[in-house]
Chain A
Amino acid sequence: MDMEYYSGLSFAIMIVVGFATVILFFGGLLFQMKKWGYGSEGYGKEGQGGSIGGFLKLLLSQIFDKKHEQGVLTTLVMDILIQRRILKRSVIRWVMHITIFWGWIMLFVFSMLIFVVELLHKYGGMFGETITHGRPIIESFPVIVTLNEVFGYVLLIGVLIAIARRLFITEVRNGTTFYDVFLTGGLFIIVITGFISEWMREGYFLEQYSAIAPPAALFHVVISLLFCVAMIPFTKYIHIIATPLSILTHGGGE
């Protein structure tokens, strides 16, 4: 029965990879906060010796600094969720980033949702009538299948624009380092493997390869978790955390 879950993957493998991802992510995040905590509290002051508590305390005081011209909620919506600072500078780069941002977030949310459904089904006995056994659990929720596909394409659009920029704009190409390639390339591989593993299922144009759909899906899920979650604190993906925090501490604004 285990093999019926999650695109035909072993539930046990998913649990192990999932936990490893969570440990790596939070361990890495704590490590990064410790690194930031080596800085001083303010101009000309002594460093805080890698204090995570000191970092968090300062972070909160700066985010909620009353001197900011706009409220935290406005900054959160306008500068982080809508990313108007990018829009003001470049429409194409805004389209690129907003599609990657929302594509990534929504796919992450849907994945987590399905995982929770899976847990509730397995251990809580819920969704028994809803779930079609012997098929990937996601297929029992057509709305999520559709949305998953839509946001998959949204993410793909963003990643393709990012790759095109790196390839065809001379100054961007000259400035590209392994650090950039790792992020863009990693996202591209994840999106493409996601589509391929889906197209291998019954009813899609690659269904003749359906026998290898489960391992393809396993590959997609594992690298997704490793690249898009576990590696965040250790790579350029750290900007997913650091950039919103930087914007919040400065009070956002155009």
Chain B
Amino acid sequence: MVRKEPSLTTERLTTSQLLEIDACTRCGECLNWCPVLEEIEEETFTPEGREGMTDKQKLDFSPMNKLTGMREMINKGYGLRAKLFGPKQIPEDDVLKLKDEIYHCTTCGICGTVCEASINTVEVWESFRRNAVINKRGPYGKQTGFVDLLASHNVFAADQEDRLCWVPEDIEIKDKADVAYFTGCTAAFRMQRVGVATTRVLQALDIPFTMLGPEEWCCVSVLIRTGQLELAEEFVNHNIDAMVKKGVKTVIYACAGCHRTSKIDWPKFYEGGDLPFETIAISEYMDRLLNDGTLQESDFDWKNPLKKRVTFHDSCHTGRHCGVYDAPRRIYDMVPGAEFVEMARTRELQRCCGAGGGIKAGVSDLALKMAQKRVQDAELVNADIITCTCPFCRRNIMDGINAMDTNIIFKDQQEILAEAMGLDLTLPDNPYIAKQM
């Protein structure tokens, strides 16, 4: 008799991840922190087709039960019984149910941060998602559109030749430099004010930099987060080669998503593993220059005191994933008139805004509810401005603000810096002005 294949294979799961799935002690700590589960339990959001769930059923969306579900399915295919009598077949609907639950996750990583067993949950979810895509079960909802969009080499299907259309004429972009500013698709086409602010600040601080322009392709965060890796290697290697050609030693980011992807994911696709340059957040870079004396606080020529109460949202990608917490705060400490205040959940225990992991595209109503929850956190500390270092968080939090009756406004860190320094943030005329968020 020919033995059947396991219903859920171990394809794309690493040896460590299979071990980690068995390491979950089901202590339940992740239930206290998962922001998606919070929305589901409070019934501010109900996953499609799961109306009328009991409290017990809602827990299927918890990291703990997702790991249990994976373990049970893998054991049915590879456990003792499977070895003796062949894999036990699992109804496809059950596998799809687990797949949907695992796609209802922003990959914010807080479950891994608080995990007693030190499980790298984000990597487990992403490997499972890759497995789902390979087996034609994933991705989820509109996430399928990412691959087609990236035929243009950016996530907005914009003309790559327009990558630098937002750069003011008086900004000098070096042909070659030690430092490169990786803009990211969102800042290049939808939040150009962030790009303008970043380049203005760099120039004002006399930091020579280069940019890839049309040769800057999407960092492929959206593909990696959703398990659609077909194009990833090509894009990653293209970007790395383009950086090498420009003699870059340090790539700086004002986008948390691009930063995380470059730092953590690119080496997985790059032959040899170690990138030929370092990848750091712009706040880290400034912090370093201030520490080594290259920059002095007096180099920041402050013109406009902020006179606002500011709170900082650690993006999951720069914070929990890359461990950068102090450097961005140092920037706010320098800005004159900025009254900095922390929200209840910050740093490694920060609450995700809901934008990541493909949720903004795949489950947009969930992303909106999560953004509103984060804005409420800012309201609780009476902040005037909620700020961040991620254009994608910015987009989602602004959606949250727009859906609420609140006086809070959002500003990117580089915008705050540029405005306080009195720099001109006017966008040059370009084809994307009407599409700015």
- The 8 Å CB contact of B15, one of A31, A54, A85, is A54
Supposing A89-B29, A250-B118 touch, asked if A55 and B15 sit within 8 A by C-beta, the answer is: yes
**Taking the complex as formed, is A130 at the interface, i.e. its CB lies under 8 A from any CB of chain B?**
no
CA distance A32 to B83 in the complex (A): 12
User: Contact: B120 with A250, CB < 8 Å?
Assistant: yes
The reply to whether A246 and B28 form a contact with Cβ atoms under 8 Å apart is: no
Measured in the bound complex, the distance between the Cα atoms of B54 and A175 in whole Å is 12
Chain B, interface residues (CB within 8 Å), range: 35 or more
Query: Cβ of A252: which chain B residues have Cβ within 8 Å of it?
Result: 118
A79 touches B16 (CB 8 A): no
Contact A85 B28 (CB under 8 A): no
- Whether the pair B59, A41 counts as a contact (CB closer than 8 A) is no
With A40-B12, A175-B28 known to touch, is A243 a contact of B68 (CB < 8 Å)? Answer: no
What is the CA–CA distance of A62 and B118 in the complex, to the nearest angstrom? 14
Question: Would you call A180 an interface residue if the criterion is a C-beta within 8 Å of the partner chain's C-beta atoms?
Answer: yes
Q: Is the CB of B268 within 8 A of A243?
A: no
Q: Which residues of chain A are within 8 angstroms of B80 by Cβ–Cβ distance?
A: 28, 31, 234
Bits for B57-68, please: 1 = Cβ < 8 Å to A, else 0.
Answer: 001001011001
**Do A249 and B22 touch across chains, with their CB atoms under 8 A apart?**
no
Question: What's the least CB distance linking A231 to chain B, in Å?
Answer: 12
A172 touches which of B12, B13, B28 (Cβ 8 Å): B28
Q: Which residues of the partner chain A approach B68 to less than 8 Å between Cβ atoms? A: 177, 179
- CB <8 Å contact, A86 and B116: yes
Chain A residue contacts of B16, Cβ below 8 A: 39, 58, 62, 246, 249
Nearest-CB residue, chain B, relative to A245: B19
Distance in angstroms from B207 CB to nearest chain A CB is 29
A243 B79 Cβ-Cβ under 8 A: no
Contact, CB under 8 Å: B14 / A40:
yes
- Chain B CB within 8 A of A191 CB: no
Any chain A CB within 8 A of the CB of B344? no
CA distance A31 to B83 in the complex (A): 10
Q: Nearest-CB distance from B261 to chain A (Å)? A: 13
- The one of B14, B118, B120 in contact with A41, judged by C-beta atoms closer than 8 angstroms, is B14
Is B10 a contact of A239 with CB atoms below 8 Å? no
A38–B10 touching, CB < 8 Å: yes
Q: Verify A39–B31 contact, CB threshold 8 A.
A: no
In the complex, the answer to whether B19 meets A249 with C-beta atoms within 8 Å is yes
Asked if B23 and A246 make an inter-chain contact with CB atoms under 8 angstroms apart, the answer reads yes
Q: Which residues of A contact B74 (CB under 8 A)?
A: 35
2-29 of chain B: CB within 8 A of chain A: 10-20, 22-29
| A156 to B: closest C-beta gap in Å | 20
Q: Is the CB of B17 within 8 A of A39?
A: yes
Tell me, rounded to whole Å, the shortest Cβ–Cβ distance linking B79 to chain A. 7
Of B23, B26, B59, which one neighbours A180 at CB under 8 angstroms? B26
Chain B residues, CB < 8 A from A97: 27, 116
Q: Are A93 and B27 in contact (CB under 8 A)?
A: yes
Which B residues are in CB contact (< 8 Å) with A172?
Answer: 28
- Min Cβ gap B98→A in Å is 15
Contact of B19 among A36, A86, A236 (CB under 8 A): A36
Question: What's the nearest-Cβ distance from chain A to residue B9, in Å?
Answer: 8
> Which of B14, B65, B83, B115 gathers the greatest number of chain A CB atoms within 10 Å?
B14
Q: How far is B59's CA from A54's CA once the two chains are assembled, in angstroms?
A: 35
A10-18, A43-51, A115-123, A192-200: which lies at the interface: A43-51
Residue of A with least CB distance to B6 = A38
Is B114 on the interface with A (CB-CB < 8 A)? yes
- B114-139 contacts to A, CB under 8 A, are 114-120, 123, 127
Which of A31, A39, A90, A171 makes the CB contact (< 8 A) with B14?
A: A39
Q: Do A243 and B23 touch across chains, with their CB atoms under 8 A apart?
A: yes
Residue of B with least CB distance to A86: B116
| A246 touching B119 in the complex, CB below 8 Å, given contacts A36-B18, A179-B68 | yes
Asked if A238 lies at the interface with its beta carbon under 8 angstroms from chain B, I say: yes
Interface footprint category on A: 35 or more
Query: With A175-B64, A234-B80, A243-B116 in contact, do A86 and B15 touch (Cβ < 8 Å)?
Result: no
Task: Please pick, from A44, A79, A170, A174, the residue contacting B229 in the complex, using a CB distance under 8 A.
Answer: A44
- A124 contacts across to B, CB distance below 8 A: none
The answer to the question of B56 belonging to the interface, with a C-beta cut-off of 8 Å to chain A, is yes
Whether B146 sits at the interface, judged by CB under 8 Å, is no
Complex interface: chain A residues within 8 A of B268 (CB): 42-44
Bound CA span A90–B17, Å: 25
* Closest Cβ neighbor of B55 among chain A residues: A174
In whole angstroms, how far apart are the Cα atoms of A175 and B55 in the complex? Answer: 9
- Max chain A C-beta neighbours (<10 A), residue from B22, B24, B31, B56: B22
Q: How far is the CB of A60 from chain B (nearest CB, A)?
A: 12
* Cβ 8 A contact of A42, one of B11, B14, B29, B59: B14
Q: Is the CB of A171 within 8 A of B10?
A: no
Is A247 interfacial (CB 8 A cutoff)? yes
The smallest C-beta distance from B2 to any residue of chain A, in angstroms, reads 19
* B-chain residues with CB within 8 Å of residue A38 when the two chains form the complex: 10, 15, 18, 78
Contact partner, B65, options A39, A175, A234, A246, Cβ 8 Å: A175
Query: How far in angstroms is the closest Cβ of chain B from A28?
Result: 8
Name the one of B22, B24, B116, B120 contacting A89, with C-beta atoms under 8 angstroms: B116
Query: In the complex, what's the smallest C-beta–C-beta distance from B328 to chain A, in angstroms?
Result: 21
**Does any Cβ of B come within 8 Å of A112's Cβ?**
no
Interface bits B39-59 vs A (CB < 8 Å: 1, else 0): 000000000000000011001
Q: Any chain B CB within 8 A of the CB of A37?
A: yes
Determine the residue in chain A with the shortest Cβ distance to B119. Answer: A246
Chain B: minimal CB distance from A85 (Å): 5
B224 to chain A, nearest CB (A): 10
Closest CB in chain B relative to A78 CB, distance in Å: 12
Q: Are B117 and A246 in contact (CB under 8 A)?
A: yes
Known: A32-B22, A44-B12, A172-B28; 7 extra A-B contacts, CB below 8 A, are A36-B15, A40-B15, A238-B22, A242-B20, A242-B22, A246-B118, A247-B118
**A–B Cβ pairs within 8 angstroms, 16 of them:** A38-B78, A39-B16, A44-B12, A58-B16, A171-B59, A174-B55, A175-B31, A175-B59, A179-B26, A234-B80, A236-B25, A239-B24, A242-B22, A243-B23, A243-B25, A246-B16
Partner-A contacts on B (CB < 8 A) = 10-20, 22-29, 31, 55-56, 59, 62, 64-65, 68, 74-75, 78-80, 83, 114-120, 123, 127, 229, 268-269
Q: Which 3 residue pairs spanning A and B have beta carbons closest together?
A: A39-B15, A246-B23, A242-B23
